[in-house]
Chain A
Amino acid sequence: MQSEFRDRVLVAKVAAEIREWSRGAEVRIMHVCGTHEWTITHAGIREMIPESIKVVAGPGCPVCVTPGGEIDAVSELSLRKGVTVTTFGDLLRVPGNTTSLSEAKASGGDVKVVYSVADSIKMAKENPRRNIVHFSIGFETTAPMTAIEIVRGVPPNFSVFASHKLIPPAMEFLLTSGAKLDGFICPGHVSTIIGVKPYRALADKYGKPMVISGFEPLDVMLGILNIVRQVAEGTHRADNEYKRAVRDSGNEAAVEAMDRAFEVRDAHWRGIGIIKSSGMGLRSQYGGHDAAVKFRMKGAYQDRMPKGCGCGEVLLGNMAPKECPLFGIECKPEHPVGPCMVSAEGTCAIVYKFKRI
Chain B
Amino acid sequence: MAEVDIGGIRREASLALVADRGIAVGDYVLVHTGYAITKVDEEEAMSILDAWKQVMAAEKEIQL
Contacts and interface: CB of A to CB of B under 8 A. Distances in A.
Interface of A: 1, 4-5, 9-10, 13-14, 88, 115-119, 138, 141-142, 144-145, 148-149, 152, 189, 192-193, 218, 222, 243-247, 251-254, 257
B63 interface: no
A315 B32 CA distance: 23
B64 interface: no
Nearest to B13: A116
Given A10-B52, A115-B33, A141-B37, A148 B16 contact: yes
Contacts of B52: 10, 13-14, 218
Q: Which of A116, A243, A253 has the most CB of B within 10 A?
A: A116
B17 A243 contact: no
Contacts of A13: 52, 55-56
Contacts of B2: none
Given A10-B52, A13-B52, A115-B33, 8 more contacts: A4-B49, A9-B56, A116-B14, A118-B35, A243-B48, A244-B42, A245-B30, A245-B40
B38 A247 contact: yes
B33 A142 contact: yes
B61 interface: no
Given A189-B32, A245-B40, A253 B18 contact: yes
Interface of B: 14, 16-20, 30, 32-35, 37-38, 40-42, 44-46, 48-49, 52-53, 55-56
Contact of B45 (A115, A117, A244): A244
For the complex of A and B, 8 pairs with smallest distance between CB atoms: A116-B34, A192-B38, A244-B45, A244-B44, A243-B44, A116-B33, A254-B17, A244-B41
13 contacts: A10-B49, A10-B53, A115-B34, A116-B33, A117-B33, A148-B16, A152-B16, A189-B37, A245-B41, A247-B38, A251-B18, A253-B17, A257-B17
Nearest to A146: B33
Contact of A118 (B14, B30, B45): B14
Contacts of B37: 141, 144, 189, 192-193, 251, 254
A218 B52 CA distance: 11
B17 A244 contact: no
The dominant DSSP class at the B interface is helix
Contacts of B48: 222, 243-244
The dominant DSSP class at the A interface is helix
Given A14-B52, A148-B17, A251-B37, A192 B46 contact: no
Q: Which of A1, A152, A193, A245 has the most CB of B within 10 A?
A: A245
A10 B52 CA distance: 7
Q: Which of B18, B34, B56 has the most CB of A within 10 A?
A: B34
A13 B42 CA distance: 22
Contacts of B45: 1, 5, 244
Contacts of A1: 42, 45-46
A253 B38 contact: no
Contacts of B32: 141-142, 145, 189
A28 to B, nearest CB: 26
A260 B35 CA distance: 18
Contacts of A189: 30, 32, 37
A142 B41 CA distance: 22
A251 B35 contact: no
A252 B19 CA distance: 11
